Structure 1
Amino acid sequence: MSSSRSNVRWLTLALIVALIVINYIDRSAISYAVAPLTKAFGISTSQYGLISSAFSIGYMVFAFLAGPLVDRYGARRILLVGVAVWSVVTAVTPISGSFVGLFIARIVLGAGEGPGFPAASRTVSRWMPQKERGIALAMVGGVAVAGSLLIGGPLVTQLIAAVGWQGMFWVLAGLGALWFVVAWALLRNTPHEHGKVSAAEHEHIAAGQLAEERSSTERIQWRPVLTNRNLWIIAVGYFAWGFMFWGFMYWLPEYLSSQYHLGITAVGLFTVAPWAAGIGGALIGGVITDRVFARTGDPRSRLTIMGVALLLSGTALIPIFTSPSLTVAVTFISIGVGLGFVTGGIWWVAAIDAAPSQPGVAAGFADASFALSGIVAPSVMGFIVSVTGSFSSGFVVMTVLAVIGAGSLLLLPKRYERRKPPAGARAGLVAGAR
């Protein structure tokens, strides 16, 4: 390879990873401020569940619309507008003043963050050749998500201890503003728009892309998407995993605090384990999926891997149905989350396999089902806790949904046409970057 080749694509990837980290820390920060926030605004436990769900209302709508928005306005503009919106909303959260104000703020926050992943994946597809997308999408879709929640707990709880819960939101808003300034200067839609990309790097990127990835998007055909059996099966599975993911993201700190009477900084430390397990699960899932697909060329193998992982993830929660020790609870929640994250980087790929002629719409459809679970899970968990005074029934619901989702993935898909992955490409993540 030419020594004159620049590495701007890796700088672009670093900006996207940083964006996802800020994205997830901002959306989950409210879960660490439940006690002071609900006290300050006079919000009940069930109302907090509704507020947590409100985020996913805006998220679901704009995740579904993200493909056409990115096609029309470009990924850079969508990402810049999105981070500006969610940073402003993060800043006004502590002064929203009431249940209604906070509910509206969370809807707008979700709307700002909704297009983030579709725009990020589009950026990766434009900047990374196929043979480098394995590590790229593992970083964006797995490590950045679980990693943000891993560092988010200690970071947010330490900020609350240092500057108060209101100050914590303002510091996070400042991080978003900092990313906006850096990305305004350095982020571009394509390598051709960036003046620092060398000719050798241009050639390296272009040689590793498919022709359709460089062409314009055709008109969307909704009927084939909405009548696609395998796509609906994937949506059911993604909803099941999403219920567990969102449930723990919004309620794990409160569960640890109320069940085991932990202080705010201790809660932050104990939330590290599940998300650390998530990083490992995401990386393992990507490796297994790519290797199996490389051998079989059968897209259904991805559904099988997701089904098995989801089934094991749900059953791992069984020991915490009763009143376990803190060690048992953290251990088995970590196992469940880690196994769930095995599927984390595969859903979009599987959705695109199901509707390869319209990859953006297929990925958006799957992402919308995940967002729908984000509306349902926090409210259901909040209702269960307010009625029963316990989280146990919520964990039962997680397990039941995981079994249903796993059964759908393992037993119901239609047969795919078997095909071999492109030569020299990591099979699973080539399509996923579309």
Structure 2
Amino acid sequence: MSSSRTNVRWLTLALIVALIVINYIDRSAISYAVEPLTEAFGISKSQYGLISSAFSIGYMVFAFMAGPLVDRYGARRILLVGVAIWSLVTAVTPIAGSFIGLFVTRIILGAGEGPGFPAASRTVSRWLPQKERGIALAMVGGVAVSGSLLIGGPLVSQLIAVLTWKGMFWVLAGLGALWFAIAYALLKNTPEEHRGVSEAERAHIAAGQLEEERTSTVRVQWRPILTNRNLWIIAVGYFAWGFMFWGFMYWLPDYLSSEFQLSITEVGLFTVAPWAAGIVGALIGGVITDRVFARTGSERSRLTIMGTALLLSGAALIPIFTAPSLTVAVTFISIGVGLGFVTGGIWWVAAIDAAPSQPGVAAGFADAAFALSGIVAPSVMGLIVSVTGSFSSGFVVMTVLAVVGAGAMLVLPKRGPGRPQTLDIQSDLVREPR
């Protein structure tokens, strides 16, 4: 083994980022095939709405269930099984044949994609030292998500134009199969399992890990998870951010077209800005998180950064419902989404910090809260628009939830025992007790 430091950990991270990009393109692809799909299967718009919700139901349940499986059997095995399931379901979507068939396939698709972030979080915790996790998980939970929303639309629409909507699903299934083949050969649970990792790189990774993060698999212990105050705080904050994220993901095009009488082409142009801002915000959040942790060694600093970003994100929406115009809407929605994505990857870092011995379970717990917001936000926004005829009250709800989530993260984190309590702010930002 070479004594020089290799960089296999970044190859591993690249595999996870590619996985998340494919994950998000696959889950959103159906929205670009609404017209031909509903016509081919005789499905009404209301039935299509139920089909859309089916994904989040399956995703929420299996994101939570996947956590224990990831910690018990390792991220590699669970990811390979998950990708195999969702790629197969993507391939059979064009031949589902009916409302029931599509409803079931979307639930299964959500179940297959559910392990993605819990397994990604565990992989990062086993492959990178703490000081490198902020930017790494910003790439996974922020840049990959925003980037997939930026490139997914043009990619999927071009595939439909060239290969028809059925061919589009089959190409996406093929991308999943390609990732499976590459990951089967290259992805390992820990650096110790990978023959290409030098002793220097292993030492670098181990020096920045807690003792409990050096294990490959563990048995799940639910009591430390369900009684972990910081995990509940993270879940509340992630739900608040998720409500804004899913609300804009599902309703932003309709808001822009109905409020400002934009064409579909114009809507497509204006919706680029928020997700581009999300990429920038995610990168900034990752850099800030790693630098603050390197300087303070404080895990609670992650919650402080997230709480501040979420508070500013909610505040950025205020001009939209107090002085609405197209320029105001696009500008401040972009600012709000960009600030929200500052938290994009830190949720996973904070979840790992809160329960380092069970990162998969902790990430699944947080991801389930995010998935729950994916069920609640579209329906609540739709109800508000139906009752009031306006999106303004929906933006108020987003702002209120952001303030609540931010307050929880800034005020409620539990102080670790055995540390001196002083007036110095850096010593006040202490570790969560294990």
- Which category of TM-score, normalised to the shorter sequence, fits these structures? 0.7 to 0.9
Write the distance in 2 (CA, Å) between the matches of 1:389 and 1:174: 42
Give, in whole Å, the separation in 1 of the partners of 2:390 and 2:345: 32
Most deviating of 10-19 and 222-231: 222-231
Say which SS state the counterpart of residue 301 (structure 1) adopts. helix
Aligned to 1:280: 280
Give the aligned residue type for 1:167: G
Counterpart CA distance in 2 for 1:68 and 1:110 is 17
Q: In the alignment, residue 171 of structure 2 is paired with which amino acid?
A: V
Map 1:257-336 to 2 at 5 A.
Answer: 257-259=257-259, 266-321=266-321, 324-336=324-336
CA spacing shift, 1:250–1:102, aligned 2, 3 Å: farther
State the alpha-carbon separation in 2 of the partners of residues 7 and 297 from structure 1: 24
Is structure 2 residue 101 aligned with structure 1 residue 86?
no
Please give the alpha-carbon distance, in whole angstroms, between the structure 2 residues aligned to 1:333 and 1:85: 35
Matched, 1:150 2:134: no
The 1:228/1:183 distance shift into structure 2, 3 A limit, reads closer
Q: Is the 8 A contact 2:311 2:403 kept in 1?
A: yes
Give how far 1:18 is off: 0.7
User: In the alignment, what sits opposite 2:348?
Assistant: 348
Q: Name the CA distance, whole Å, in 1 between partners of 2:123 and 2:249.
A: 27
SS in 1 for 2:72: helix
For residues 44 and 389 of structure 1, the distance between their equivalents in structure 2, rounded to whole angstroms, comes to 22
1:407-422 aligned at under 5 Å gives the runs 407-417=407-417
SS at structure 2 position matched to 1:188: coil
Q: Which deviations, in whole Å up to 9, do the C-alpha atoms of 1:246-297 show, x marking residues without a partner?
A: 2222333444455556565554443321111111111222333344445555
Shift in alpha-carbon separation, 1:94–1:190, aligned structure 2, 3 A:
same
- With 237-246 and 162-171 compared, the bigger mean Cα shift is at 162-171
Residues 1:229 and 1:13: Cα distance change in structure 2 (over 3 Å)? closer
Identical positions, percent: 86
Cα pair 1:64 1:365 within 8 Å, conserved: yes
Alpha carbons 1:351, 1:363 under 8 Å: kept: yes
Q: How far apart are residue 22 of structure 1 and its match?
A: 0.6
Letter in 1 for 2:54: A
Deviation per residue, 1:64-85 (Å, 9 max, x gap):
1223212333322211111111
Range 344-353 or range 22-31, more displaced: 344-353
Q: Report matched runs for 1:371-386 at 5 Å.
A: 371-386=371-386
What is the aligned residue count? Answer: 421
| Cα-to-partner distance string for 1:386-414 (whole Å, 9 max, x where unaligned) | 55555444333322322222233334444
Shift of 1:341: 0.9
- Tell me: CA distance 1:97–1:284, structure 2 relative to 1, closer, same or farther (3 Å): same
Structure 1 CA distance for aligned equivalents of residues 287 and 149 of structure 2: 22
2: distance between equivalents of 1:353 and 1:238? 15
Contact 1:52–1:379 (CA under 8 A) maintained in structure 2:
no
Which residue of the partner structure matches residue 246 of structure 2?
246
Asked if the contact 2:21–2:147 (Cα under 8 Å) also holds between the matched residues in 1, the reply is: yes
d(CA) in 2 for partners of 1:32, 1:315: 32
Residue 108 (structure 2) pairs with residue 114 (structure 1):
no
- In 2 relative to 1, CA 95–105 (structure 1 residues): closer, same or farther, beyond 3 Å? same
Please report the RMSD computed on the Cα atoms of aligned residues, expressed in angstroms: 3.2
Unaligned ranges ≥5, structure 2: 421-430
| Higher deviation after alignment, 265-274 or 336-345 | 265-274
Kept after mapping to 1: 8 A contact 2:146/2:275: yes
Q: Is the 1:60–1:368 Cα contact (8 Å) retained in structure 2?
A: yes
Task: Kindly state the Cα deviation for residue 197 of structure 1 after the two structures are TM-superposed.
Answer: 3.8
Give yes or no for the alignment of 1:179 onto 2:172.
no
Over 3 Å counting, the alpha-carbon distance change for 1:383 and 1:141 in structure 2 is same
Aligned to 2:364: 364
TM-score by length of 2: 0.84
